[in-house]
Amino acid sequence: MSKIAFVSMHVCPLGKLGEDKIGGMNVYIMNLATALTKLGYEIDIYTRKHDIKDPVIVKTDQNIRIIHLDAGPVLENNNHLYKYIDDFTNNIIEFNLNEKNEYKIIHSHYWLSGPVGAVLKDTWGIPHLITFHTLSAIKLKASPSIVEHQQRYKVEKNTMNKVDSIIVSTQSELDDIVDLYNIPDKKIQVIPPGVDLELFKPLNKIESKKKLGLNNRNIILYVGRIDPIKGLYTLLDSVFNINTKYDPKLILIGGDLNKSQDLIELKNYTFKKGKSDVVDFVGLIDQSDLPIYYNAAEVFLLTSFYESFGLSVLESLACGTPAIVSNVGGLSELIDNGTNGYLVSENNARSFTNHIEAFFENERMKNSSINIRLKAESYQWSKSAKNMSNIYTKIFDGSLN
C-alpha cells in the first residue's frame, strides 16, 4: 500500500466549516484523502496544532491520520504563520525520525505548505506536488484592494519552479498560472474536485423549510468563509435591493458569531440598513447539516471577486438548488447560464439583484431540481481520486512529462 504525506500547515481539515480560513480547502483535503484510501493509499495529513487539546495523532479512517505538530502559538493569526514555516518543517522531520514512515510522494496544500514540501522533498528524496487552492496574483488581479503577505507571490513562484507537478481544479486556473507566473503548462495538471452525492442530494423543499422554521419566504443562501474576497457587502446589498413582493430572506452560513470581527461588522451594517429581518446569520455548522439548508433555499448566491472553483456551488447544485454567481475563475465551468443558474459578469449589487428577481420569475428553473443536479453528478470524488492516482503513478515512474 502506497503512503502519501499531505501537508496542510495553516488549517486543520477537522476544523468547522466557516471558521477563519476554513472552507472549501478542508472539504477538498478530507474528501480527496478518503477517496484515495479506497484506491489502496494510506494518507498522513500534517497540520499545525490549533488547540492545546489537539492530540498529536487523530485517526479519522483506518488509513487516514491527522498529525498535529507545533508551528507557533495555537491562537496565532494565519497571516503571521509564515515565520513558523521552518519550525513546522523541522517538527515533521523529527516526527518521522521516530516513526520511520516511507512515503511515496508529498502533496502539499496552499502556499504556506509549499516551502515545507520543498524541504521534505530534498530530505526524504521523494517527489513533491502542490495544490495551491488560491493564488495571490489571481486574487490581486480580481480585487487590487486585497492585502496579501508580502512574501506570498515570491514563495508561490519559487514553489512552482521546484515542484514535480502543480494540480489545479480548472482550465481557467491553469491559464492564469501560465500568464501570471510564467510557468509552462506541461507542469500543470487539471483535476476537478468532486462532491459527496450521497450527502448532498435533493430533499423535500417544504419539509426542509419547516425543519428550519423558514415557512414560505423566498430563501437565498450563502455558505462560506467571511472574507473580503467573497464580496459580502455586495451580497447583502443585492438582497436588500430585491423588491419586497418577493419576500426574500438571506441565510448566511459561516464565521464565528462570537469571534469574527468581519461578521460583527456585517451584522452592524445590516442593522444600520434597517434590514435585520431580512438576514439570518447562522454562524458555524457541521458540513453534515448543510444539505437541509441547500434544500430549503430557492437559490444559492455567491458574489466573490475570485473563486478557484466553488465547492459550495457544486454542493448546492447537487441538492438541486440553482446558483447565481460571479462570472469569475472556474465558476463558469459549473453554471450553464439560464439552465442551472446565472453567471453575473458585472460584480455589483444591482446586477445581482436583477438576476435574483429574474430567477424568481423563472418557474422552469425553480422547479428543475433533477436537471440542476445533473451537472453535479459528473463531479465525483472517486473520479478525482482516480485521476490524482494516475498523476502520482506517473510521477513515481518518471513518465509524467
Provide the grid cell at 137.
496574483
Contact 296, 212 (CB under 8 A): yes
pLDDT greater than 70 at residue 267: yes
- pLDDT-derived band of residue 22, with 50, 70 and 90 as boundaries? low
Specify whether 138 is located in the same domain as 107. yes
Q: Distance of CA 249 to CAs 218, 236, 280, 281, Å?
A: 6, 11, 8, 11
Position 199 in a domain = no
Give the residue among 272, 286, 288, 329 at the shortest CA–CA distance from 305. Answer: 329
Q: How far apart are CA 351 and CA 345, in angstroms?
A: 8
Domain around 393: 3-194+380-397
Q: What is the pTM of this model?
A: 0.92
pLDDT of amino acid 315: 96
Q: Is 352 found in the same domain as 211?
A: yes
Note whether 336 and 348 are same-domain residues. Answer: yes
Q: Rounded to whole angstroms, how far apart are CA atoms 362 and 339?
A: 10
Nearest CA-CA partner of 24 in 297, 303, 223: 223
Beta bridge partners of 3: 42
Q: Cα–Cα distance between 209 and 279 in angstroms, integer?
A: 15
Q: What is the DSSP letter of 191?
A: -
Examine residue 200 and state whether it is found in any structural domain, yes or no.
Answer: no
- The CA-CA-CA angle for residues 314, 316, 317, to 5°, reads 65
What CATH code is carried by the domain that includes residue 260? 3.40.50.2000
What's the 3-state SS for 60-75?
EECCEEEEEECCCCCC
Q: Note whether 298 and 352 are same-domain residues.
A: yes
pLDDT in the model for residue 77: 80
Per-residue pLDDT of 73-84, as tens digits, reads 888 888 889 999
Q: Is residue 32 part of a domain?
A: yes
Q: 57 pLDDT band (50/70/90 cuts)?
A: very high
* % pLDDT > 70, the chain: 97
Q: Are residues 211 and 76 in the same domain?
A: no
Q: Average pLDDT in the 118-137 region?
A: 95
Give the mean pLDDT of 135-163.
90
State the burial class of residue 256 (Cβ atoms within 10 Å of its Cβ: 0-12, 13-18, 19+). middle
Residues 6+ away with beta carbon under 8 Å from 66? 12, 13, 14, 45, 47, 57, 58, 59, 60
Residues 264 and 190 in one domain: no
Grid cell for residue 292: 437541509
Domain count along the chain:
2
pLDDT surpasses 70 at 20: no
Half-sphere exposure of 243 (CA within 13 A, CB side): 10
pLDDT at 255: 87
The reported pLDDT for the residue numbered 320 is 95
Q: Are 309 and 317 in contact (CB under 8 A)?
A: no
Scan for cell 502506497, then name that residue.
2
Q: What is the pLDDT of residue 369?
A: 75
Same domain, residue pair 224 and 331 = yes
In a domain, 127, yes or no: yes
Question: Average pLDDT in the 350-365 region?
Answer: 91
Q: Which residue has the higher pLDDT, 212 or 147?
A: 212
- When the pLDDT of each residue in the chain is averaged and rounded to a whole number, the result is 92
Please indicate, yes or no, whether residues 313 and 388 belong to a single structural domain of this protein.
Answer: no
* Same domain assignment for residues 60 and 25: yes
